[in-house]
Amino acid sequence: MRRYGSRSAATLLVILIGWFKMSSAETLNDLFSDYWEFQMRQSPTWATNLGDHRYDSLLPDMSLEAVPREAAALRSFQARLEVLSKQKGSARDTINAEFFGRELSDRLEDLDNHWYLMPVSQQGGPQIDIPELVNYHPLKTAGDCENFVTRLHAFPAYVDQLIARMRQGMKEHLVPAKITIEKALPQIEAHVVDDPQKSVLAGAIDKIDSTIPENERKKLSESIQAAIQKEVVPGYDRLARFVRTEYLPACRDTVGILALPDGKRRYRSLARQFTTTQLAPEQIFQLGQKQLTEIQTQMRELMEDVGFKGSLVEFAESLRHSGKFFYTSADSLVEGFKTILKQMDEKLPLLFGHLPEAPYSYKVMEPYRAESAPDAYYYPAPEDRSRPAYFYINTFRPEMRPKYTMEALAYHEAVPGHHMQIAIQQELGELPQFRRHGGYTAFVEGWALYSEELPKEVGMYSDPYSEFGRLTFDAWRAVRLVVDPGIHYFGWTRDEAIKFFHENTALSDLNIVSEVERYIAWPGQALAYKVGQLKIQEIRVKAERELGDKFDIRAFHDELLSDGALPLDLLDEKMDRWLEVVKK
pLDDT in tens, 346-368: 999 999 999 999 999 999 998 88
For residue 18, the number of C-alpha atoms closer than 13 Å in the C-beta half-sphere is 25
pLDDT of residue 10: 52
Mean pLDDT to the nearest integer, 12-16 = 54
pLDDT of residue 6: 39
Per-residue pLDDT tens for 273-285? 999 999 999 999 9
pLDDT of residue 17: 53
Torsions phi, psi of 440, nearest 5? -105, 135
pLDDT of residue 546: 97
Which amino acid, one-letter code, is at 128? Answer: I
Which amino acid, one-letter code, is at 169? Answer: G
Give the predicted TM-score (pTM) of the model. 0.92
Helices 553-560 and 528-547, packing angle to 10 deg: 140
| Those residues with Cβ within 8 angstroms of residue 362's Cβ, 6 or more apart along the chain or in another chain | 334, 337, 338, 390, 391, 393
Per-residue pLDDT tens for 414-449? 999 999 999 999 999 999 999 999 999 999 999 999
Mean of the per-residue pLDDT values for the chain?
Answer: 94
Helices 263-275 and 464-488, packing angle to 10 deg: 140
> What is the distance between the alpha carbons of residues 289 and 207, in angstroms, rounded to a whole number?
49
pLDDT of residue 14: 55
Mean pLDDT to the nearest integer, 438-466 = 97
> What is the distance between the alpha carbons of residues 162 and 60, in angstroms, rounded to a whole number?
11
On whether the CB atoms of residues 56 and 143 are closer than 8 A, the answer is: no
Mean pLDDT to the nearest integer, 138-142 = 97
pLDDT above 50: residue 544: yes
Nearest to 360 by CA among 347, 377, 372, 373: 377
Torsions phi, psi of 63, nearest 5? -70, 155
pLDDT of residue 2: 35
Instruction: Of 289-303, 307-321, 460-474, give the lowest mean pLDDT range.
Output: 307-321
pLDDT above 80: residue 155: yes
pLDDT band, very low/low/confident/very high, at 1 (cuts 50, 70, 90): very low
Nearest to 506 by CA among 407, 411, 405: 405
Burial of 552 from C-beta contacts in 10 A (0-12 / 13-18 / 19+): middle
> What is the distance between the alpha carbons of residues 542 and 578, in angstroms, rounded to a whole number?
12
| % of the chain residues with pLDDT over 70 | 96
Mean pLDDT to the nearest integer, 44-65 = 97
> What is the distance between the alpha carbons of residues 36 and 287, in angstroms, rounded to a whole number?
37
pLDDT band, very low/low/confident/very high, at 90 (cuts 50, 70, 90): confident
pLDDT of residue 4: 32
Per-residue pLDDT tens for 495-534? 999 999 999 988 888 889 999 999 999 999 999 999 999 9
pLDDT band, very low/low/confident/very high, at 16 (cuts 50, 70, 90): low
224, 371, 446, 545 from 538: Cα distances, Å: 53, 37, 12, 11
Which amino acid, one-letter code, is at 467? Answer: E
On whether the CB atoms of residues 155 and 224 are closer than 8 A, the answer is: no
Mean pLDDT to the nearest integer, 177-188 = 97
